[in-house]
Chains A and B, each alone.
Chain A
Amino acid sequence: MLVAWWLIYGRLEPFAGWLAHHFAQYLSGYNLSPGNIEHLRSTVEFFVFEAPKVLMLLLLVVFGVGVIRSFFTPERTRKILAGKRESVGNILAALLGIVTPFCSCSAVPLFIGFVTASVPLGVTFSFLISSPMVNEVALVLLYGLFGWRIAAIYMSTGLIIAMLAGWTIGRLKMERHLEDWVYKIQAGESGVYDEERKSFADRVRFGLDAVRDIVGKVWIYVILGIAVGAGIHGYVPTGYLASIMGKGVWWSVPVAVLIGIPFYSNAAGIIPVVSALIEKGAAMGTTLAFMMSVVAISFPETVILRKVLKPRLILVFTCVVAVGCIIVGYLFNALI
């Protein structure tokens, strides 16, 4: 299967070129200027190459990460993090956030499970921040659209935000800003549940399930993102947004982050927007800061977390993460 994957993947670029070439020849029968034909040709080539390329990468990476995830459960992650010292704990938690499978709807039970098992509050936050933000789908999409450097910077800055934001919350000693009932819970040991040993075949199945689950959900955003990218590829005069979201505009980063706070989308859903913003001349740092703020902080999430956190802690959480996104935005704009 891997061989077939590799063979097809290698043929994508020549195939896209060939198809686009024929498309252009077909168009030349119509009354279009050579410039227009060239634009259409490059649009088609971009889409026909990029869409299957990114989807294929997604299949491979989601499968791989799925297999890795079969080695981690939230229970095991909790065991690793329980009683860890803060700084080490924050780093570990942010990293484990990538590989621990967990659905955002169980954020609250997970939060309680961690805190009652003496995982420090700040460490728990590192986990909760990194988990949705740094994920394989976002990385593959960023790689496909903007190259590996952007993907790598996104991943490392995402991890750093998760570590530092969690660490900061830990330093602020916010423990008493949890709702009182959380501490009254005598959480039973969930050691009752013994994870059955997984065979190699089980892990492969876990990976395939992940592919069906995740790729089944996000493929439409991928296609949309690339279609948007292709549609304006070399078409629309870029620079349209440069005057408000360009590098030179100092206030654009905080404004982008503030706008992103109430919105929620998973990392895949925001990609079409990101690709449109970039093509229209928005600066990379500003756009990524916006993306991070949309993915990491959201109004619905704070409503869910409100069940366990007092308003003050929610406010601190939102501010700390927002400041992190803003710093990343400026840093990116300065570097690229």
Chain B
Amino acid sequence: MNIKVLGPGCKKCHETDKLVREVIAESGSDAFMEYVTDIAEIAKLGIFSTPAVVVDGQVKLTGKVPTKAQVRSWLGK
């Protein structure tokens, strides 16, 4: 499983990054996670409100910080 957190570096983006990392660690998921700050990269995915979370190429959330429960459900945990 591949998870991308996208955000050019605002406060909420960092929060999202941290939260997703935490949930992955807590749940013992083997998901691979990356934090994308490159604007061209973000735009290519068709995302224009950040933070956004993409799981296996599918946009799950844009424009807000997810809840832990949401992240867990994406991880299938």
Chain A residues with CB under 8 Å of chain B are 73-75, 78, 101-103, 105-106, 108-114, 116, 181-182, 185-190, 192-193, 307-308
Contacts and interface: CB of A to CB of B under 8 A. Distances in A.
A192 B48 contact: no
B60 to A, nearest CB: 7
Interface residues of B, number: 24
Ranked nearest first, the 8 interchain pairs of A and B with the lowest CB-CB distance are: A113-B48, A105-B10, A188-B46, A190-B46, A193-B59, A112-B43, A74-B49, A106-B50
A45 B60 CA distance: 51
Contacts of B63: 73-74, 101-102, 106
A193 B61 contact: yes
Contacts, number: 85
B8 A105 contact: yes
Contact of B44 (A74, A187, A192): A187
A106 B42 CA distance: 10
Interface of B: 7-13, 39-40, 42-50, 58-63
A190 B48 contact: yes
A109 B61 contact: no
Contacts of A307: 39
B62 A75 contact: yes
Nearest to A100: B49
A114 B58 CA distance: 20
A190 B8 CA distance: 18
A189 B58 CA distance: 11
Contacts of A111: 48
Which among B43, B61, B62 has the greatest number of chain A C-beta atoms within 10 A? B43
A66 to B, nearest CB: 12
